[in-house]
Amino acid sequence: MWLEILLTSVLGFAIYWFISRDKEETLPLEDGWWGPGTRSAAREDDSIRPFKVETSDEEIHKKFADSRCRDAWDLHQRIDKFRFTPPLEDSCFHYGFNSNYLKKVISYWRNEFDWKKQVEILNRYPHFKTKIEGLDIHFIHVKPPQLPAGHTPKPLLMVHGWPGSFYEFYKIIPLLTDPKNHGLSDEHVFEVICPSIPGYGFSEASSKKGFNSVATARIFYKLMLRLGFQEFYIQGGDWGSLICTNMAQLVPSHVKGLHLNMALVLSNFSTLTLLLGQRFGRFLGLTERDVELLYPVKEKVFYSLMRESGYMHIQCTKPDTVGSALNDSPVGLAAYILEKFSTWTNTEFRYLEDGGLERKFSLDDLLTNVMLYWTTGTIISSQRFYKENLGQGWMTQKHERMKVYVPTGFSAFPFELLHTPEKWVRFKYPKLISYSYMVRGGHFAAFEEPELLAQDIRKFLSVLERQ
């Protein structure tokens, strides 16, 4: 039986390799309209408008229709009505967010967290909005404060995922835009653009079904053109990795380089190597480090993915149901989001009473991210992105079966949800020119390890420019 399975897998891989090799396809660059109602015959307003995050009650009420903000009094009232359920003894984070530690988090949120101060931090970088395909797209655009003589900045689009936000990039931005003042070489100086995915934070949500990563990629491509960039670099993790991949599949001639810290590369080849790699890893292109991070496969892949993917099954099928509860309860929202920042940072944190949250992040940073979902009421629309992308099943969309033919760099952080060996990445991204085993870090790379990620992006650019 096992011989038959092996021969079938090898034959399937051989057929897949033969029919997919050297086919440099591109996705069709179509058009869309995701705003309410039908598309107007008038030309869409393509102006770029300055935007500021507001906090005062006057501004909150005045801008309610635009930003859907709620005032702090309402937040505190809802926090005060939280109904506490004691955790099981010695349960740590094995059952989800430990409610004893949750009491500490919400006490800090209610009594010490200074949202107005955090808004000042949010407004440290320039914010803008512009209308694309019927949606108001929010982004920050950070230019370098100074440039070496004869240099021009490299435009870099950085895309977040769920349950993150543009705020994840706040600590890495100065390392990229002002490297010399942060102890780095000024060989590579970037101009950074960080948009909010439509339906996240301050970017308007689609009013229509079907808004997926390809539509997002097209909108972000149009954003870069609107900003005057015909060629640019792109970087992403989580949904950002898929959106950036789709951009490279849509407009490869405009993408000078693609850098990822996560990749969705499951295929017949990766399945085959996963099944046989512990015994025959060297012959299948796996390194000792790959074997260390992937095996025993039952614990480090199957059990781990089952343990951490329950949310995905809900959001891929009926996101509005759980979303309605989360949108009504700030404490529920915080528990749901912050749990991911525990075990997605390090799966071993589930053995800790506090989930290890404050080992890598501050409560101010974590709660600022939660507030970007709470004050904008976007948890439901952010969760719908799962249904639009994965609700029809795996490998059902054309882009999932396509390779990517732009120069690619990859950061393999050791505590990512699923380790992706270089051989797997190269199968999907044949022009992979830089692959790095990172010394530490998990899923939220830019948020958790901005220095390491910045260094690897710069390494990728150095390799690319030497070619």
pLDDT digits (tens, 9 = 90+) for 393-439: 777 889 999 999 999 999 999 999 999 999 999 999 999 999 999 99
Residue 452 to residues 16, 391, 457, 458: CA-CA distances in angstroms? 36, 34, 9, 10
Instruction: Compute how many other C-beta atoms are within 10 angstroms of the C-beta atom of residue 18.
Output: 8
CB-based burial label for 207 (10 Å; 0-12, 13-18, 19+): middle
| Among 405, 389, 445, 68, CA closest to 217 | 389
Residue 178 dihedral angles phi and psi, to the nearest 5°: -140, 55
pLDDT classification of 150: cutoffs 50, 70, 90: confident
**Residue with tokens 């614990």, as numbered in its chain:** 299
Lowest mean pLDDT among 2-6, 400-404, 439-443, 444-448: 2-6
**What is the structure's pLDDT at 283?**
80
Does residue 238 carry a catalytic annotation? yes
User: Is the separation of the CB atoms in 356 and 342 below 8 Å?
Assistant: yes
Query: Choosing from 127, 138, 419, 443, which is the catalytic residue?
Result: 443
Edge-to-edge strands, sheet with 154-159? 48-51, 127-132, 135-142, 190-195, 154-159, 232-236, 255-260, 408-412, 432-437
From CA 307, how far away is CA 302, in angstroms rounded? Answer: 9
| Among 235, 211, 210, CA closest to 224 | 235
Between 182 and 15, the more confident residue is 182
Q: What is the DSSP letter of 393?
A: -
pLDDT classification of 358: cutoffs 50, 70, 90: very high
CA geometry: angle 295, 442, 241, nearest 5 deg: 100
pLDDT classification of 298: cutoffs 50, 70, 90: confident
Query: Choosing from 221, 238, 373, 429, which is the catalytic residue?
Result: 238
Does residue 295 carry a catalytic annotation? no
Query: Choosing from 167, 221, 336, 386, which is the catalytic residue?
Result: 386
Instruction: Work out the average pLDDT over 61-77.
Output: 58
pLDDT classification of 57: cutoffs 50, 70, 90: low
On the question of pLDDT at 323 being above 80, the answer is yes
The residues facing 191 across adjacent strands are: 155
Do β-strands 232-236 and 408-412 pair in parallel, antiparallel, or remain unpaired? unpaired
Does residue 443 carry a catalytic annotation? yes
Residue 391 to residues 197, 213, 326, 379, 426: CA-CA distances in angstroms? 18, 13, 21, 18, 27
